[in-house]
Amino acid sequence: MDAIYIPQLAQASKPVEEIEFKEFLPGLDTLTPVRGNIRVQHCGNYLQVAAKAETIITLTCNRCLQQYNYRMSLNPSEIIWLDEEANIEQEFLAEREIALDELLETLSPHGYFHPSVWLYEQMCLEIPQRQLCEEKCPGIEPNQQNSKAEKPVDSRWASLESLKKQLRSSMTD
């Protein structure tokens, strides 16, 4: 997807850009291309961005560690404010206090809007934090054959095992 030059969008007779897409997004591993559309509308001092997208990704279950396919479908929309000072870097401020009204997405009115970057961010936010292959996933089943009866494989534990035996025999005496 090509970047949208914001001043050109603002000067258009119809300040709306609609993009149909079917492509793989860089940095996002998906089984199928991401399909859908993005609508970007210039509204004076902000951009109204909305999209519909879907794809299939492979996730790993947090309980049993098996991989499974997850169908991701999303309808994000966002207002991105156009601010002259949006791209000004604040030098040497590793830590600074941020006011609540600064927690907004902003772009320069003389810059570009990158729909593929925006869509990538929205897709990443949609990936579930709790990844389960099924609701009643039992998790990793312990192997019943590998019980305490099995001797330690590592010979470095042999000294500890003999010490444990000495302690047991001294306690029973």
Residue 82 belongs to a domain:
yes
Residue 156 belongs to a domain:
no
Residue 104 belongs to a domain:
yes
Query: What per-residue confidence (pLDDT) applies to 138?
Result: 87
Ranges assigned E (strand) in the chain? 4-5, 16-23, 34-42, 46-60, 67-74, 77-82, 106-107, 112-113
Please tell me the distance from the alpha carbon of residue 116 to that of residue 3, in angstroms, as a whole number: 8
Residue 55 belongs to a domain:
yes
Q: State pTM to two decimals.
A: 0.72
Residue 132 belongs to a domain:
no
β-strands 67-74, 77-82: how paired?
unpaired
Mean pLDDT score, 102-115: 85
Percent of the chain with pLDDT over 90: 60
Name the pLDDT band for 171 (thresholds 50, 70, 90): confident
Domain that holds residue 117: 4-126
Q: Using alpha carbons, select from 91, 90, 52, 88 the residue that is nearest to residue 72.
A: 52
Is 95's pLDDT higher than 90? no
Query: What per-residue confidence (pLDDT) applies to 118?
Result: 95
Residue 143 belongs to a domain:
no
Q: Using alpha carbons, select from 79, 85, 71, 83 the residue that is nearest to residue 118.
A: 79
Are 123 and 28 a contacting pair, CB within 8 Å?
Answer: yes
Q: Residue 117 in 3-state DSSP? A: helix
Residue 76 belongs to a domain:
yes
Q: How many domains does the chain have?
A: 1
Query: What per-residue confidence (pLDDT) applies to 160?
Result: 86
Residue 142 belongs to a domain:
no
Q: Using alpha carbons, select from 36, 28, 27, 37 the residue that is nearest to residue 57.
A: 28
